[in-house]
Amino acid sequence: MEKRWVYKDEPDRELVKKLSREINISEYLSRILVQRGIETFDQAKAFFRPSLSRLHDPFLMLNMDKAVNRLTDAVFNREKILIYGDYDVDGTTSVSLMYLFLKQFTDQLEFYIPDRYSEGYGISEKGINYAIEEKFTLIIALDCGVRAIDRARQAKEAGIDLIICDHHLPGKDLPDAYALLDPKQNDCNYPFKELSGCGVGFKLLEGFCQQNTIEKEKLFEFLDLVAVSIASDIVPIVGENRILAFYGLKKLNQAPSAGLKSLIEISGKKEAFNISDVVFSIGPRINAAGRLTHARESVHLLIGDSHETEAFADNLNDRNKERREFDQTITAEALEMIGELEEDKKSTVLFKKDWHKGVIGIVASRCIEYYHRPTIILTESKGKATGSARSVDGFDVHEAISECADLLEQFGGHTHAAGLTLSIDNIEKFIHRFEQVVSERILPEQLIPKVEIDVEIPLSAISFKTYNIMNQMGPFGPQNMAPVFGTKNVIVDSMPKLLKDKHIKGFLHAENSTKLFEFIGFGLADKLEQIEVGKPFHIAYHLEENNYLGNKSLILNLKDVRFDA
């Protein structure tokens, strides 16, 4: 698939030169920093040396004092506390963090995760009924609840206080909870708006520590869980999230909690985990239980002691293998169906009644890798068509779906991902309407995958020093992605190898130099026939470190190859 190369805007030259001199790095790297809003020595120092002392005061968050006071009363009066969380990674890590920390101060704790299929997302009626039956007096809802108007009313009428820790966008009306913590609510002046659900729960516990003069180190012991939530929920790795992720990854790699340690061992990875490794290796294993059976299995793993964790981790690993098989089978079926559609379509909407509901979002993302357009995958559940939508960069799929609202029974989500439910009788009408809306709104360039290049750089500037400084810009993730370098006119002296019919690997050098650089291009086998020995071409790539049996070398991980001038 051809990609369009987009070079980031050239920042102010004088700022780039000044920063380069002040912190003694190359102008190529200082340019990347200035592009990311780091323009002064002090900003660079704070960026390269993240510090937990720079976390914001939790009491800047609206309703934090009320929430902390109520939690303190419940803990020290030995009230029954129910920790309620969503079934995804952010929800299960939130519940585990809250449970593990609070159990040091009270044994009157239980957790509750709703069933993905019978109860659905958010605070359920069944969950509140359970709290009533079991005589809980406080519910802490994590990663959900900001739109739970009816359930908040039900809890209040039953005399149960509800503290909501959420990070989703509130609706027009807010739930009448005892305390609502959500940095995205209108009147909240909390300086950082992009916390994960687990991050909001962490701030509640940080406030609890502050108020009760508890050493925060006790809380920082659980930062590995916070890092897993930040990575898996794809929140921006900037500001407070970057500090939490930095120290959370450190904990994950040096002294992980028992449950996460068992998942790391089962993944087979020996090198240190970064954000991307968490997203692709740990996150799916935690998620697999919620997708295929019940997410309480994941919480049992994350809060269990080391005697139990191995068995739970094996179970989650089996679930993940099952999930992967579903995912691969359904993706293959979906791609075959797309191949039978008209070629000039601007959207993909597919329905098959026996596809597994737990993996259709993953399948939608996979389809976009092959057919770069807004995609919705539908299956049957409880007599309705239910599905997941995924979008391409820059196109608001939620807005497009909302233009079809009269054909839907329910929908929700955000710019790049959404969920929807409709009558099976309306599927054909929806397919036509959605295609019409997308065709009218999508720009031609949005249908071509994009490679965004941070800086053009000669191979002569690539060194371990460059790599080591660049690596300190991490953790990398949304809004702080690993830099993509662009280099023109590189040459191969011998043809690259083809690996598994999909990937290419070889050595290249600059036109005016013989110094060789190893490269690998995942999924770039289609470029092989255009590469010729001695003929210059252009590359966009990540700079990475290869560590084979203790021998370290640099490798260029190619994102794309171009042959034009």
Q: Are 434 and 400 in contact (CB under 8 A)?
A: yes
- What's the pLDDT score for residue 376? 97
Residues 6+ apart with CB under 8 A from 329: none
- Alpha-carbon torsion 392, 9, 511, 535, what sign? positive
Q: Distance between terminal CA atoms of the chain? A: 19
Structural Rg of the chain based on CA atoms: 25
Residue 98 CA to its chain's centroid (Å): 21
- What's the pLDDT score for residue 291? 65
Q: Judging by DSSP bridges, how do beta strands 551-562 and 517-521 pair with one another? A: parallel
Strand partners, 349: 376
- With tokens 């997941």, the residue in question is 388
CA distances from residue 404 to 360, 401, 408, 432, 433 in whole angstroms, order as listed: 20, 5, 7, 10, 7
Helical pair 296-303 and 89-102, crossing angle rounded to 10 deg: 40
Burial 115-151 (b: 16+ CB within 10 A, else e): bbeebebbbbeebbebbeeeebbbbbbbbbbbbbeeb
- What's the pLDDT score for residue 565? 56
Digit-coded pLDDT (tens) for 242-261: 999 999 999 999 999 988 99
Please list the helix, strand and coil fractions of the chain in percent, rounded to the nearest 5, in that order.
45, 20, 35
CA proximity to 149, closest of 120, 179, 175: 175
- Written as one string, the DSSP assignment of 41-91 is HHHHHHHHS--GGGSPPGGGSTTHHHHHHHHHHHHHTT--EEEEE-SSHHH
- Model-level pTM? 0.89
* Residue 114: cis peptide before it, omega within 30 degrees of 0: no
- Give me the torsion for CA of 290, 292, 293, 296, rounded to 10°: -20
Residues 6+ apart with CB under 8 A from 210: 58, 59, 68, 216
Burial category of 308 from C-beta neighbours within 10 Å (exposed 0-12, middle 13-18, buried 19 and up):
middle
Phi, psi of 43 (to 5 degrees): -65, -40
Q: With H, G, I as helix, E, B as strand and everything else as coil, classify residue 267.
A: helix
CA proximity to 313, closest of 353, 285, 348: 285
Q: Are 397 and 365 in contact (CB under 8 A)?
A: no
- What's the pLDDT score for residue 292? 62
Phi-psi region of 383 (alpha: psi -120 to 50; beta: other; left: phi over 0): left
Q: Which residues of the chain have pLDDT under 50?
A: none
User: In 517-550, where do the E strands start and end?
Assistant: 517-521, 537-548
Burial category of 360 from C-beta neighbours within 10 Å (exposed 0-12, middle 13-18, buried 19 and up):
buried
